[in-house]
Structure 1
């Protein structure tokens, strides 16, 4: 479900904000009245209870399901997690569609409207700009082409069966019979859910790929930085990957000069040349900044607008485990959603045969057949984002007649789109496309009125003084990733696993592997472009110059992989896949910097070197590791600072003896993260261009005075104004860890210097800046947590709220209380293994999380464990709405049954679906 999608306030004229706000208030007032009834508040409680129960799924007894070839059993455990048993693939996926619709159809319906650019049909005019951008990208059209022209016939049959199951659930139901949100929505427009189609499922992969698209925002930011910084300063802010400190995933091997394929035993050769176009973006900062603003408004399904997207996965071979068999762990880091993005499920053929090929369980997506992460009877697999650079922004020279390429003007490919708006007038847009992709800058609101001098046949105006921005992206070409899902579910060994991975084109994911024969492995898949001239894709390129075109894609046989490496384990956590100096293709310049991956590597290696075996409990404990790499680097220096203010000194003493773990009850973790946030602000924030601005809470802490009562300081902090309007703030991710690591030993580096502020003098050195950051953090936390540091704790700052991503995202408190849950005080932090991420530009609140956790006992499947962020149900008042969250927050895992006997023992409800 879209993480940043908010319900429209109803029909309004987007050019008249006053009318829009009035419409929003009226719409929300109606919703509050409905939800008050639904929640049993006040008059009408009896009616509301019956309304709520009408949408709950039937989980016992029997239901006749058209199209089934035989009886299907749906067994649910105490957490509502279903295990489906059938005799044919058709029956299995038909039942999967039916069951997922029972629990999650509202989520599925919103999601398909998002992927097709049709949110306005549900929520009104407030979603028109989002729809316009998504129509410009054309996800739905690409998904339709995949279904029509690329996917295998077997995959199409499975998609059709799934869609038939969803529609069997919908048959004869009104919206209020499906979910309480429809009851609320139905009072403000006449929206009715339509039938599900196979393409609705395929389009979801495009949404995944969008949020995992790589370095698109970095391209924009690097260009914007040229307005204020020189080349060496920009290089300071985008340091190279630290291969000496943080190991890549694949430590050996190369593309063999003999076979032309990647060989884990081959001797590494030289890497690719890397060049960057100079001056291509000069003068286009306004356009790029406007595009950046537009991107920020697009719903982020998997994370907060691309920041922090990551995951952990690792596998340890049986020679190093207490079980004697491989152990595999995975926990993808995504936006906190309610319900969770994941849906736990088992798909079991009673007897494996040509007509029934699946015996698999794990994490699925509501709206898509098959299992995305999990295991079958022979192998287990996990995913993390590879982070390959699969997007490029191209600056285009445009006119009414077309775009310039290779010395001549070429006509745009043009299509018109009509956006239907609930309660309002339709909106028509024109999408223009070049050889490099759609002109995404056409959707920038800031440029909407620029140069409107278009012809009738080319209705989109010539923008930005003859320039536009096109997006080239691998996901805008039809691919076979949906085939990969089913192939993974059927894979039996490393050979068939790699064959499945070859189809996994978009989004590019690190795939880890283990099997019942004792083998472990890794494969880097994906459709990854090869750029001409060795262009490195780090900044927008001139689209009119063919020297910067994409020439090919990295052949699958040349992508890195590992199989039973000598060290006995494999770790993937978004670090570099392989040393770029020894690999002939440039996968990206913008890896995650490896803080999490190296911590996992270190914990495993320490156990093995100590002669200890790794247990399931050890794997689970590692997932909850709260160690802060940046704290280990900076705290020894912070403790040396001579602090004269007794209140700041009191806070500084919290760091004495701290082990750098960010537990929820840790006052030291709270203070250090406050210091880290203020170091970033002082050293970098005021030096970055305003075009990169990330909106956040008040960070401009007033001058820390050496005299005056503490209460006065608290008052000053509470009354601090908005942060500087001409600068941006760093988000504090592990790139910033590396930036500071490379500067920290240089006391007099220019980044540590800053002008005088209020009564405080200029900062002339690192220790000057650290001292001020320590003081500013003391006053900031005093305002947030109180004067008495004995009451401070990281969890009080670092809180998780679970928000229903549509009707719960805005509105009065009553509406939010009905649909939302929380808060939970959490440990962990940015770039910790327990990656409860926060954005230093905007505060300490949790903005991405381990969205699920699993530890798989390979071959002894019933001893595996799993947990979801929320629960199986998307129904706001169901017992299974958030029944896993408390355990998730504590780092607990549930038993994961797989074998028929184990499933039967854990079953509390059985539903029989009959032909």
Structure 2
């Protein structure tokens, strides 16, 4: 136990670190410990929270450095407008919530003053500004939009680009059926598409706080070895850039300090993403709900603002706002952003004929941040699963599936989010003409139509970013998403009749791929007897680091994708390689491809022989090197502030190469992608397991509490994370 020296605080708090560096913050009231949490966020993660605000506000090139990727993301976020309406949102906060956020902000500001400028701040000439309620809500909006920016928008863009690339219409319609049914593909080919964000800008966005993928499940007492409910949660994010995204903390307050909250928090916000109190535990997964659509606007020059759009046969003026993007050490850049009551143009229009432009509409564009932050704060005060489900249901952004367990043994799942009510027959996956009024959103989906499960008879609830659409219910998830991870989790939970904490932990480190099992059932019957067929037939479908069969299958699978979908009249060789192996990896495309491959007949091999295509893919393996999965699926840890700079290497910010177990389809989602300049990863960013019968949790994360490379708490949890070991968080410091 190490006492943390707190300088000149506004509230009476005591902070001690356990042997892992996790701060234990004690205070008389909830407001006191929120202040302490803000103070420790500033002390240990000041650079992270301050830089995140600058980027989310579209001021990275001004506040941090005039780098091309920061200028690019500034234009992106200014156009989306996360920084707008924040004052109005703050004013809408209920008084108790306003006081809680204010107390947290006071702690952040006192912590920043006490700790001074960090090395990255000094190196970039960054000077901190006051952290306020608007800053908290801005980071909250970043959580809501960040996952969308790199998933839903990218998926819709990928589909539009496939249409414009000239793939066979019937084959493409079959690939994503029924999402292109009734869609005018010729109109889509005439739409002006803005230039794709660079790999560097996309990497920067994926590195921001967000909720993009996760596993979470809970078990009722009758299936538990201890006779009490259990819960597990592991959010998945990019993990190879330190410091870790999440920040662990244990807060205690109240009479005799009997109230507590422990788990993973987000620097910059007073929220726990995976945590427990005395009465309740929760974890969340990103629902992959579609709250964002592209529309096609027919534009022409003219009117009072310079550009117009039409509704039916009538033309209307766009509204326009100007954003001045300051650049550190260089001249400013002014961009014009055209918008209407539907959304925002994806780029400044240019004269052409026809002039079809993309417009972006998002349900969180105007409001929702205040209620979203309210949800996170009220969750800590909830006393039961049912109460927590009712709180979660009202959260407007982001789209989440919450998993709960309580001390009385109840478990539940609750979906949340604000979903547009689209016209019947329109999925939202592809742009539709905005000049046709019936294509416009018709309000929002009622909250009572969101997923909700309470104490199911099977004795557990589980979610892992699968489709949660119900038969005859609203289309909440519009793009194809795989269910492989959830199927494996459910498979194991059904096999375990008396679940232990160790079982929960092992399941978080499960490397078995249901996807590989499905695909082998398709591929193997087409192969002649021989070494390849024998090896893959004996394989347990585990992507353990030492597995050579995992490498063999993954290459075989890639070759099949290239043979079937990568031909000249299909998706194309280069594009398919990009979508299935590189930075452009699209789980949407691969999910669709897996579905097609399991069919007997398809337009994708209408004039070819499926058996021969699979055999050809197998033959191409002859020249491949026999390697374990650890050699193929590996990466380096680097620093998120100095990662691309020579100074980072000199100061030891780059690690030796590390093996990543698992793949995109395993419960431990160990996914490594290559870009032109670096690796990008997607893996569990936090492991959290708890038994409601004890006031403790078992955790690990890929990093540590501190953002300082020179602190012993910079990456002290890495050995636990790599080896599947857990530390204990409890009320008594070990």
* 1:715-744 CA-partner distances (Å, limit 9, x unpaired): xxxxxxxxxxxxx99836375255334434
Q: 2:475 aligns with which of 586, 605, 609?
A: 586
1:751 alignment counterpart? 604
| Contact residue 174 and residue 603 of structure 2 kept, 8 A | no
Q: 1:635 aligns with which of 520, 530, 536?
A: 520
Please give the alpha-carbon distance, in whole angstroms, between the structure 2 residues aligned to 1:840 and 1:107.
24
1:86 alignment counterpart? 27
Please give the alpha-carbon distance, in whole angstroms, between the structure 1 residues aligned to 2:715 and 2:289.
34
Identify if the C-alpha distance between structure 1 residues 291 and 507 changes in structure 2 by more than 3 Å, giving closer, same or farther.
farther
2:224 alignment counterpart? 321
1:253 alignment counterpart? none
| Contact residue 217 and residue 292 of structure 1 kept, 8 A | no
Shift of residue 386 of structure 1? 0.9
2:546 alignment counterpart? 665
Identify if the C-alpha distance between structure 1 residues 172 and 487 changes in structure 2 by more than 3 Å, giving closer, same or farther.
closer
Is 1:129 equivalent to 2:72 in the alignment?
Answer: yes
Shift of residue 636 of structure 1? 5.4
* Paired positions, count: 720
Give the 3-state SS of the residue equivalent to 1:865 in structure 2.
Answer: strand
Shift of residue 642 of structure 1? 5.7
Please give the alpha-carbon distance, in whole angstroms, between the structure 1 residues aligned to 2:286 and 2:50.
26
Shift of residue 652 of structure 1? 5.8
Q: 1:160 aligns with which of 74, 86, 102?
A: 102
Shift of residue 300 of structure 1? 5.1
* 1:396-422 CA-partner distances (Å, limit 9, x unpaired): 122332221243222222221111111
Please give the alpha-carbon distance, in whole angstroms, between the structure 2 residues aligned to 1:848 and 1:284.
35
Please give the alpha-carbon distance, in whole angstroms, between the structure 1 residues aligned to 2:317 and 2:522.
60
Question: Which runs of 5 or more residues in structure 1 are unaligned?
Answer: 1-57, 242-273, 452-462, 700-727, 755-763, 783-788, 907-915
Give the 3-state SS of the residue equivalent to 2:594 in structure 1.
Answer: helix
| Contact residue 798 and residue 845 of structure 1 kept, 8 A | no
| Contact residue 303 and residue 309 of structure 1 kept, 8 A | no
Shift of residue 555 of structure 1? 1.6
In the TM superposition, 1:793-804 aligns within 5 A as: 793-804=628-639
Q: 1:338 aligns with which of 226, 231, 242?
A: 242
Is 1:403 equivalent to 2:309 in the alignment?
Answer: yes
| Contact residue 124 and residue 423 of structure 1 kept, 8 A | yes
Is 1:773 equivalent to 2:617 in the alignment?
Answer: yes
In the TM superposition, 1:344-359 aligns within 5 A as: 344-351=248-255, 359=260
Please give the alpha-carbon distance, in whole angstroms, between the structure 2 residues aligned to 1:526 and 1:869.
29
Please give the alpha-carbon distance, in whole angstroms, between the structure 2 residues aligned to 1:512 and 1:816.
44
Give the 3-state SS of the residue equivalent to 1:226 in structure 2.
Answer: helix
1:736 alignment counterpart? 590
Please give the alpha-carbon distance, in whole angstroms, between the structure 1 residues aligned to 2:386 and 2:224.
24
Q: 1:183 aligns with which of 115, 122, 136?
A: 122
| Contact residue 399 and residue 417 of structure 2 kept, 8 A | yes
| Contact residue 320 and residue 613 of structure 1 kept, 8 A | yes
Which piece of structure 1 moves more, 466-475 or 651-660?
A: 651-660
Is 1:215 equivalent to 2:152 in the alignment?
Answer: yes
| Contact residue 16 and residue 25 of structure 2 kept, 8 A | yes
* 1:227-267 CA-partner distances (Å, limit 9, x unpaired): 423453223322579xxxxxxxxxxxxxxxxxxxxxxxxxx
Which piece of structure 1 moves more, 514-523 or 671-680?
A: 671-680
| Contact residue 59 and residue 325 of structure 2 kept, 8 A | yes
* 1:559-615 CA-partner distances (Å, limit 9, x unpaired): 231111111111111112243x332x22132252211111111111122xxxx3111
Is 1:613 equivalent to 2:514 in the alignment?
Answer: no
Q: 1:824 aligns with which of 644, 658, 664?
A: 658
Which piece of structure 1 moves more, 633-642 or 358-367?
A: 633-642
Please give the alpha-carbon distance, in whole angstroms, between the structure 2 residues aligned to 1:322 and 1:295.
47
Identify if the C-alpha distance between structure 1 residues 692 and 476 changes in structure 2 by more than 3 Å, giving closer, same or farther.
farther
Give the 3-state SS of the residue equivalent to 2:404 in structure 1.
Answer: strand
Provide the alpha-carbon RMSD of the alignment.
3.2
Please give the alpha-carbon distance, in whole angstroms, between the structure 2 residues aligned to 1:192 and 1:496.
43
In the TM superposition, 1:539-618 aligns within 5 A as: 539-579=430-470, 581-583=471-473, 585-607=474-496, 612-618=497-503
Please give the alpha-carbon distance, in whole angstroms, between the structure 2 residues aligned to 1:230 and 1:310.
32
* 1:796-830 CA-partner distances (Å, limit 9, x unpaired): 1101322322321x233863762233422122111
* 1:260-314 CA-partner distances (Å, limit 9, x unpaired): xxxxxxxxxxxxxx975435843335x23x35446983455457999x9321111
Shift of residue 858 of structure 1? 1.3
Is 1:511 equivalent to 2:402 in the alignment?
Answer: yes
Which piece of structure 1 moves more, 672-681 or 227-236?
A: 227-236
Q: 1:171 aligns with which of 104, 113, 123?
A: 113
In the TM superposition, 1:825-844 aligns within 5 A as: 825-839=659-673
Give the 3-state SS of the residue equivalent to 1:551 in structure 2.
Answer: coil
Give the 3-state SS of the residue equivalent to 1:821 in structure 2.
Answer: coil
Shift of residue 631 of structure 1? 2.2
Q: TM-score, normalised by structure 2?
A: 0.90
Q: 2:560 aligns with which of 673, 679, 687?
A: 679
| Contact residue 170 and residue 195 of structure 1 kept, 8 A | no
Give the 3-state SS of the residue equivalent to 2:189 in structure 1.
Answer: coil
The structure whose RCO (Cα within 8 Å, separation 6+) is larger is 1
| Contact residue 510 and residue 667 of structure 2 kept, 8 A | yes
Identify if the C-alpha distance between structure 1 residues 397 and 239 changes in structure 2 by more than 3 Å, giving closer, same or farther.
closer
Higher Cα Rg: structure 1 or 2? 1
| Contact residue 422 and residue 442 of structure 2 kept, 8 A | yes
Give the 3-state SS of the residue equivalent to 1:497 in structure 2.
Answer: helix
Please give the alpha-carbon distance, in whole angstroms, between the structure 2 residues aligned to 1:396 and 1:539.
13
* 1:128-149 CA-partner distances (Å, limit 9, x unpaired): 222112111110114333213x
Give the 3-state SS of the residue equivalent to 2:6 in structure 1.
Answer: strand
Identify if the C-alpha distance between structure 1 residues 656 and 816 changes in structure 2 by more than 3 Å, giving closer, same or farther.
farther
Please give the alpha-carbon distance, in whole angstroms, between the structure 2 residues aligned to 1:743 and 1:67.
63
Give the 3-state SS of the residue equivalent to 1:426 in structure 2.
Answer: strand
Structure with the larger strand share: 2
| Contact residue 155 and residue 586 of structure 2 kept, 8 A | no
